[in-house]
A and B are shown apart, each in its own frame.
Chain A
Amino acid sequence: MQSYWIYIGIFLVVAVAVPIVAVALPALISPKKPSRRKEEVYECGIETTGNIRVQFKSQYYIYALIFLVFDIETVFLFPWAVSLGELPLFAVIEGVVFIAILFGGLIYAVRKGALVWY
């Protein structure tokens, strides 16, 4: 059992090392001729002015918040789904009620206009 996690550890090291090698190798053979023009930020040919880290809408933040609720819900549902066969019927219904409550939350968010993209 433990050896599986060691395998995953080895695999993760390989999975990180191979892209690092692939990125580092061209750095040895590729030309290096930096210039001021080349390092300009690309903006369709015109020179960039002002602060580049622009403000953007808080709408992204609301989507992330609602996502968080549902993401945690799904993590809670995994154990429920695994043991569904052995659970008493009451626990199955409880899981359904749990989903229904969060579903109500989704309907509330839609009705409130939280999921409108401007």
Chain B
Amino acid sequence: MADLINLIEGWITNLLLGWGASEELTLFLLQALGSVLVVIICFLIVIALIWVERKLAGRIQDRFGPNRAGPFGIFQSFADIIKIFTKEYVTPKGAEKGAFNIAPVLAMASVLAIWAVFPFAINVIGADVHVGVLYIVAVSAFGILAILMAGWSSNNRYALLGASRSVAMLISYEIPMVVSLLVPVLLAHSMKLSVIVKAQQPWWYLLVAPTAALIYLISSMAEIGKAPFDLLEAESELVAGYHTEYSGMKFGMFYVAEFLHQFTVGALITIFFLGGWGGPLAMRWPILGVIYFYGKSFLVYLVISWIRLSLPRIRIDAMLDLNWKFLIPVSFVNLVAVAVADRVMLELDLATWMYVGVMFAVNIFILLASLFLAGKSKPVVEREKFPPRPVAVPPGTES
């Protein structure tokens, strides 16, 4: 009972070996089974999350939310799936067929692929690669490619403008995200996700590096593309952005990918800042670790939903300014400060609680100082300082 997952794994291994399968084949089948299991759990979670999100949105916005299909409307998502399965695929004329069809698959695959390296518990780890953090950053960048492909291939002005605008935003917000990911890597001295989780067992990195956690939360909210950063699909300006022309399950893939990405961000924040599978008795019963992992991810998911349901959309120039003129400088200053403080305290050889206290103080100081400086700086109307210059003037129209 101590270790349910390894028990099942050992049972399947023995069964297959007993049937005469070679060891390589057994390993291959186990890995295939594991990956299918993780992907299916992801889909089931999304089905549940869509209902939770809609119900929560209803409550926050003072309405009921889904309440017709089943008790409290819990079958609403299943009804939606059945409906969306029977919808006709419409391909607009002049669309690039190849890219148009690949984009929804790529959007979903890029989010799913992140789950390959997650440590779910102390002994239930997907692939414990040495470059786990880099893998996550690299794979999640494919989502941006999917958006650009969808926008370009749809042969629609709104889709094209929405896609190029959102790509400018997504690649910008990738920088503070990656730089704040450097802080847990630096503190754990490893890019292995299992080592990062183990390193923060008594003291979560939320306490050691709160500024990095905050920057990571903000920039990954922008990466998800939900309010207050939902410029990808600003209805009043761009119809539905890059997926205007998609119908049926192709649209459904983008929709599911968005929800799964939000949950994935919750899982990533759990791994990097909230101690992953850590919790009381998680060392003894790894199955508890899995529950803690999913539970913490769900809590972060709810916090992100809460933020997105409370704030209005931000204008694009304000959003890019927030990134380039606030988040990136702060994240770099924070990185340098944490690196130097970590190094200095390594020389001093302090007790752990003193180390955590000093780190917390340094982080909070940087956060408050940067907010103070940003509040004091005068707003510069840069559009007046740098008026737009025409790049190319059609011949015969020069003044």
Contact = CB atoms under 8 A, between A and B. Distances in A.
Contacts of B239: 42, 44
B112 A115 contact: no
Given A26-B87, A81-B186, A113 B385 contact: yes
A3 B27 CA distance: 8
A10 to B, nearest CB: 5
B174 interface: yes
Q: Do most interface residues of chain A lie in helix, strand or loop, or is the interface mixed?
A: helix
Nearest to A102: B332
Nearest to B173: A67
Contact of A113 (B85, B115, B252, B382): B382
A22 to B, nearest CB: 6
B59 interface: no
Nearest to B333: A103
B126 interface: yes
B185 A81 contact: yes
A78 B249 contact: no
Given A29-B85, A30-B85, A63-B172, A14 B36 contact: yes
A61 to B, nearest CB: 9
A67 B35 contact: no
A30 B84 CA distance: 9
B84 A23 contact: no
Interface in A70-118: 70-71, 74-75, 77-78, 81-85, 89, 92, 95-96, 99, 103, 106, 110, 113, 115-118
B382 A92 contact: no
A80 to B, nearest CB: 8
B109 A7 contact: no
The prevalent SS among residues of B at the interface is helix
B105 A6 contact: no
A5 B117 CA distance: 10
Nearest to B387: A118
A58 B155 CA distance: 20
B60 to A, nearest CB: 30
Given A11-B126, A74-B175, A74-B179, A22 B36 contact: no
Given A63-B320, A84-B186, A95-B339, A26 B164 contact: no
B248 A26 contact: yes
Contacts of A42: 92, 156, 158, 239, 244-245
Contacts, number: 220
B343 to A, nearest CB: 5
Contacts of A41: 92-94, 155-156, 245
Contacts of A43: 156-158
A54 B162 CA distance: 12
A5 B129 contact: yes
A113 B385 CA distance: 8
B271 interface: no
Nearest to A18: B39
A30 B248 CA distance: 9
B359 to A, nearest CB: 14
B336 A96 contact: yes
Contacts of B365: none
Interface string B132-153: 0111000000000000000000
B128 interface: yes
Contacts of A115: 320-321, 324-325
Nearest to A20: B105
B209 interface: no
A54 B160 contact: yes
B373 interface: no
B13 interface: no
Contacts of B134: 75, 78
A73 to B, nearest CB: 9
Contacts of B321: 115, 117
Contact of B171 (A6, A67, A78): A67
Nearest to B192: A82
Given A30-B85, A89-B343, A22 B253 contact: yes
Nearest to A6: B31
- Please give me the 5 A-B residue pairs with the lowest Cβ-Cβ distance, nearest first: A113-B386, A117-B317, A15-B112, A11-B116, A19-B108
23 contacts: A4-B128, A7-B126, A8-B117, A8-B127, A10-B32, A11-B38, A15-B108, A18-B39, A25-B249, A26-B84, A29-B86, A30-B89, A31-B86, A41-B94, A41-B245, A42-B244, A44-B239, A54-B157, A56-B160, A67-B171, A89-B343, A110-B324, A117-B316
